[in-house]
Chains A and B, each alone.
Chain A
Amino acid sequence: MPVLKCPVCGGDVEVPDDVMPGELIDHDCGVTLEVVKKEDGTIELRPFEGVGEDWGE
């Protein structure tokens, strides 16, 4: 499992091997993190801002 840094608390975040961009991870520090793929193909985490409107069904 790759380990990334939480952009909010700086702690370690274990990311599943089959992780997909757009996946949400609840971190121990209380922040929901979103997996984002960068231009170079690597992934990073950023605080999830929500989708801004009603969603789902």
Chain B
Amino acid sequence: MERLGMVYMVARWEEKAIAKAGEKRGVKVKLLHLPSLHLLIGEHVAELPQVVLQRSISHYAALSSTLVLESLGVRVVNTSTATAAANDKIWSAALLSRAGVAMPQTGVAWSMDAALRLAEKMGYPVVVKPSNGSWGRMVALADDEEDLRAILEHREYMPQPEMKVHMLQEYVAKPGRDIRVTVVGGRPVAGIYRYSEHWITNTARGGRAEPAPVEGELGEIAVRAVEAVGLEVAGVDVFEHPERGYLVNEVNPVPEFKNTVRVTGVDVAGEIVDYLIGILRK
């Protein structure tokens, strides 16, 4: 019986690399393809692995499947609480702040008027972010009150309740790049600079990448961020502020790492599988 498993929705490059890294180590990773899976909460199934890596691309599918697997006594990486916190940008920002991790100034307002007053207090430009989102989508930059009013009006007309909670963040004038650090089991295993002419620098949106050194301060702040949110496997997005140094922008509980591997040569999938094997042996 397989003792390691991976729960996922779409098998991307990363999921295939993780399955192959298991094979290379003589450990068969049981594939729990969510669209083919059903489970009863709390009713144990004999063939479930002891340790499961969560790789679902849908935030809600990831959280719900982690919760159900945990109810069956399965150890899931990342845990449900860490996944929920990381996927909610307000929740994770609150945890980062409490842990003293440097981050861009972030505010939350619960009406359009209050958001306009918050922006005045913070100073323009401000970034308007959805509290739950990926790949930089629905992130908007407001240079002035007119911009912000237009963005907020669009948000207020959207049906999702979270669109009525406005998260504003200080705009950090990055040096044409940001940094993605991949952390596994409390260690910063690889980092890349993501360059882009656009202020949104995700490589998923077409940015160029180069290796970034994770020794020293950069790796340390990434690990502190991951620990603050309770994650074990994570991608940490870091900005370089001209005066304040490294600022943690976000933590991601199901990180993609194809570009990180291509640019750095680090076997991230192998690092993840080794970490899971380590948990099994405990």
Contact = CB atoms under 8 A, between A and B. Distances in A.
Interface in B229-276: 235, 250, 252, 254-256
Nearest to A49: B35
B120 to A, nearest CB: 30
20 contacts: A21-B11, A21-B31, A21-B36, A22-B31, A22-B33, A24-B10, A24-B11, A34-B35, A36-B33, A37-B36, A51-B58, A51-B61, A52-B58, A53-B60, A54-B135, A55-B9, A56-B57, A56-B204, A57-B254, A57-B256
Which of under 10, 10 to 19, 20 to 34, or 35 or more describes the interface residues of B? 20 to 34
B137 interface: yes
A23 interface: yes
A18 interface: yes
A53 B254 CA distance: 15
B97 interface: no
B19 A20 contact: yes
Interface residues of A, number: 17
Contact of B16 (A18, A37, A51, A55): A18
Interface string B26-40: 000001010110000
Interface in A26-56: 34-37, 51-56
Q: Is the interface of A mostly helix, strand, loop or mixed?
A: loop
Q: Is the interface of B mostly helix, strand, loop or mixed?
A: mixed
A57 B92 CA distance: 14
B60 A57 contact: no
Contact of A36 (B36, B134, B255): B36
Contacts of A22: 8-11, 15, 31, 33, 35
A45 B61 CA distance: 22
Given A22-B11, A24-B10, A56 B33 contact: no
Given A20-B11, A21-B11, A55 B35 contact: no
B132 interface: yes
A20 B135 contact: no
Nearest to B133: A54
Contacts of A35: 11
B33 A37 contact: yes
Given A23-B11, A57-B235, A51 B31 contact: no
A30 B6 CA distance: 30
Nearest to A51: B58
B9 A51 contact: yes
A56 B135 CA distance: 7
B11 A57 contact: no
B256 A36 contact: no
Contacts of A51: 9-10, 57-58, 61
Nearest to B20: A18
A55 B11 contact: no
